[in-house]
Amino acid sequence: MRVSFDHNVPRQLRLHLRGHLVQTAQDRGWDTLANGDRLRTVQRDGFELFVSCDKDFDRYAGDPQRTVALLLLNTNHKPSLMAAHQQLAEAVERAVPGSFEWLMIARTQSPGPFTND
């Protein structure tokens, strides 16, 4: 599956999606596009799934013209997302054209104030 990560999704998560082609908005130069334009561009360029932590994308959940699957994550907290990589992989496997899912990730404790998470 061709997967596009929005600019707010930690790119390291792609390492846990083996068997899928994952590119980021930054990879494609789309990180400066407005949300609607970004989603339309992802769809136009043949991606099958768009993953974002931006809650504003939920407005596109019922858009009948959207064929790209949309997966929204409730957090962009990197340690939490990395700990929940299996949940993400399962959600990617569930995605079908035009589907919409909110994936609720439990927040984990950060390792400490002097780490770069």
pTM for the model: 0.90
High-pLDDT (> 70) share of the chain, %: 93
Phi–psi pair at 111, nearest 5 degrees: -60, -25
Q: Are 4 and 49 in contact (CB under 8 A)?
A: yes
- Tell how many helices (H) and how many strands (E) occur in the chain: 4, 5
pLDDT tens track, the chain, 117 positions: 999 999 999 999 999 999 999 999 999 999 999 999 999 999 999 999 999 999 999 999 999 999 999 999 999 999 999 999 999 999 999 999 999 999 999 998 765 454 454
Q: What confidence tens digit (pLDDT) does each residue in 81-115 have?
A: 999 999 999 999 999 999 999 999 999 876 545 44
How many residues are recorded in the chain? 117
Please provide the DSSP assignment of 32-82 as one string: TS-HHHHHHHHHHTT-SEEEE--GGGGGGTT-TT--SEEEEES---HHHHH
Separation CA 47–CA 83 (nearest Å): 26
Q: Where are the domains positioned within the chain?
A: 2-103
